[in-house]
Amino acid sequence: MRVLKFLLQKEFRQIFRDPSIFRVLFIAPIIQLLILPLAANYQIKNINLAVVDHDHSQYSQILINKIVSSGYFRLTDYSATFPQALKSVELDKSDLILEIPDHFQKDLVKDNKANLFVAANAINGIKAGLGSAYIQQIIQNYNQTVRMKWIQFPRFNPQPTIDVEYSDWYNPNMNYPFFMVPGILVMLITIIGSNFAALNIVKEKELGTIEQINVSPIKKTYFILGKLIPFWILALVVLTAGLIIARVVYNIIPIGHYITIYIFSAIYLLAILGLGLLMSTYAQTQQQSFLVAFFVIMIFNLMSGLFTPIESMPHWAQVITWFNPVSYFIEVMRMVILKGSGLADIKNQIFAVIGFTVFFNGWAILNYRKRS
């Protein structure tokens, strides 16, 4: 036990005496947590709209005003012909074209039906999908007002009507940072947990100081614990800082208990640190170790459901996510913080993460050799 104490003392001194590590450990995650959720916003606003109005009627004018005043669209281009509007899409000045044909008003009032033409720049699928859905909704509403003006509706519904009522639970204001902040916090902690311990060991290898440890009577379990514990503590401190930022800056107050978050995080960090250790036992240089860690963590983060929903993935990709510790943590964070899930609700995830902990650490200890 005394050996472990000295090892811990050594590690903490090394960490605190290197200002660059300290900067990267604390300041970087905090800055990221302040910037990332603002940038990682899928909410689509300010869609640039090009209008080609061949009709120039009162009706087309009302429609255009209605679309612009909805708040989703910005009128950036008012072209005389469609090819001209298309050019503004090519140059990225507009995202969406609304073409109002000749005689739009006349067709609608006299012939009872009229056409509109909408073209969207669909290179970014979500943006095109949501943008065209918004504009269609506005057109429908407009259609409804026109209809109301011309027809006197009877007091009772002449036809069976289903009224759909919506409730948005857990995040009624549709606040996007509520969804992203817990996930981003997981990503940051994962990067710290997997990278620092690994780099630390490989640095000793590369600089040759590991030789001294190898010839000492320190048992390999102690050596590994000595590397694990400091970063485990630091990562929990970063988690705490992150939760405080989430509360103070983004006003995210977990519905579940903080204790649930900490219990899960403590186990999860052991798994991730174990993964880092495992990678470090294979790497010879810091460059290698960093690149391998980066590669693995990148795949873990992409396949975690942080940016894109897991249910939408094809089956084989969903199977991969079962072997991804990050996906469990993100799920748990969102469940506890936003929906108030308790330990009983997340027991499957806890068992999975315990499994990862045993697997990664066991393999790392087996693979760590005192001989080079």
Partner 1 sequence: MNQFFIFVKKEWLHIWRDRRTLFILIWMPIVQIILYGFALTNEVKNAEIAVFDQSNDVATVTIINEINASRYFKVIKNLHSYNEIGATFRQGKIRLAVVFPPNFQNNLLQKNYAQIQLIADASDPNTANTLTNYATAIIHDYQQSLNQNKDLPYTITTNLRMLYNPELKSSYSFVPGVMALVLMLVCAMMTSIAIVREKEIGTMEVILVSPLKPFRIIIAKTIPYLAVSIFNIACILLLSVYVLNVPINGSLVLLVSESILFTITALAIGILISNGAKTQQSAMFTSLLSLFLPTLLFSGFLFPIESMPWPLQIISNIVPAKWYYIIVESVMIKGLGFWAVWKETLILVVMTLVLLGISIRNFKIRLA
Which residues between 305 and 344 bind partner 1 (CB under 8 A)? 307-309, 311-314, 317, 320, 331, 334-335, 338-342
State which of positions 7-46 bind partner 1 (CB under 8 A): 20-21, 24, 28, 32, 35-36, 38-46
Q: What are phi and psi of 169, to 5 degrees?
A: -85, 160
Dihedral class, residue 254 (left if φ above 0, else alpha if ψ from -120 to 50, else beta): beta
Whole-angstrom distance, CA of residue 230 vs CA of residue 269: 12
Instruction: Tell the smallest beta-carbon distance from residue 197 to partner 1 (Å).
Output: 13
Instruction: Tell the smallest beta-carbon distance from residue 219 to partner 1 (Å).
Output: 27
Whole-angstrom distance, CA of residue 195 vs CA of residue 275: 9
Instruction: Tell the smallest beta-carbon distance from residue 140 to partner 1 (Å).
Output: 8
Verify binding: residue 350, partner 1, rule CB under 8 A.
no
State which of positions 192-231 bind partner 1 (CB under 8 A): 199, 203, 206
Identify the CA nearest to 51 among candidates 86, 16, 11.
86
Torsion sign over Cα 245, 248, 253, 256: positive
Whole-angstrom distance, CA of residue 201 vs CA of residue 206: 9
Q: Which of 1, 152, 169, 253 binds partner 1 (CB under 8 A)?
A: 169
Verify binding: residue 143, partner 1, rule CB under 8 A.
yes
Whole-angstrom distance, CA of residue 296 vs CA of residue 291: 9
The nearer residue to partner 1, 167 or 372, going by C-beta atoms, is 167
Verify binding: residue 175, partner 1, rule CB under 8 A.
yes
224 contacts 311 by C-beta, under 8 angstroms:
no
Q: Which two tokens stand for residue 356?
A: 């990862």
State which of positions 147-166 bind partner 1 (CB under 8 A): 147, 150-151, 156-166
Verify binding: residue 75, partner 1, rule CB under 8 A.
no
Verify binding: residue 179, partner 1, rule CB under 8 A.
yes
